[in-house]
A and B are shown apart, each in its own frame.
Chain A
Amino acid sequence: GQQVMQIPQYQHVQEGEDFTTYCNSSTTLSNIQWYKQRPGGHPVFLIQLVKSGEVKKQKRLTFQFGEAKKNSSLHITATQTTDVGTYFCAGQTDQAGTALIFGKGTTLSVSS
């Protein structure tokens, strides 16, 4: 079936260091979305990427969608303790309609 692989599973950084999580799909995606889930919380939408090669920035966060629309990354510059949580990528395909295919998530911990 359709899968979205996400690495790493866990990442610990010192405050101020950069962080990147990567997603790779077995099939071409129509779009990819990123969500953040704080400990004890629920997933919160961060961004959606639709176009091949698209790059979007939100303050210290940079999101990329690959040229083949099969991979994506989220990069955080100069992490802060408020960045702690689990980051999920979630892809949609034309076949799956509105259903999201979630990656397993990357849990980020930050020490000050």
Chain B
Amino acid sequence: DTEVTQTPKHLVMGMTNKKSLKCEQHMGHRAMYWYKQKAKKPPELMFVYSYEKLSINESVPSRFSPECPNSSLLNLHLHALQPEDSALYLCASTPTGGSSYNEQFFGPGTRLTVL
């Protein structure tokens, strides 16, 4: 299995809803990432997990809450989002959790719309 999967593919939620995005990989990768991508923009790093521990939080608002239950799974819990949070949310993984320089495998993303 050489891919990163993300569910759901699309999500529409209201500003008072609580929802979660899920990311899964079975490549044995020990670093996993959440990115936010707006239209016609590059991916913006949100969080990095290295060996299931949060190693980077790029000053993301607390309405986004990441969770890494095990080495294969990464969740992003959403609560009280704003319309400007509508974007494509990408998950990625790399083989090692250190500062080795490895390609990032991106999942297909979840397209989120906040009404």
Contacts and interface: CB of A to CB of B under 8 A. Distances in A.
A85 interface: no
A43 B101 contact: no
B45 A30 contact: no
A100 B104 contact: yes
Interface string B88-112: 1010001001111111111111000
Q: How large is the interface on B (under 10, 10 to 19, 20 to 34, 35 or more residues)?
A: 20 to 34
Main SS at interface, chain B:
loop
A98 B31 contact: yes
Contact of B99 (A90, A97, A100): A97
Contact of A42 (B41, B55, B108): B108
Interface in B27-71: 31, 40-45, 48, 50, 55-56
A48 interface: yes
A21 B45 CA distance: 23
Main SS at interface, chain A:
loop
Q: How large is the interface on A (under 10, 10 to 19, 20 to 34, 35 or more residues)?
A: 20 to 34
A111 B88 CA distance: 27
A99 interface: yes
A81 to B, nearest CB: 21
Contacts of A45: 103-106
Given A42-B109, A45-B105, A48-B103, A100 B90 contact: no
Given A33-B103, A42-B90, A88 B98 contact: no
Nearest to B105: A45
Interface of B: 31, 40-45, 48, 50, 55-56, 88, 90, 94, 97-109
Interface of A: 30-31, 33, 35, 41-45, 48, 50, 88, 90, 92, 94, 97-100, 102-105, 107
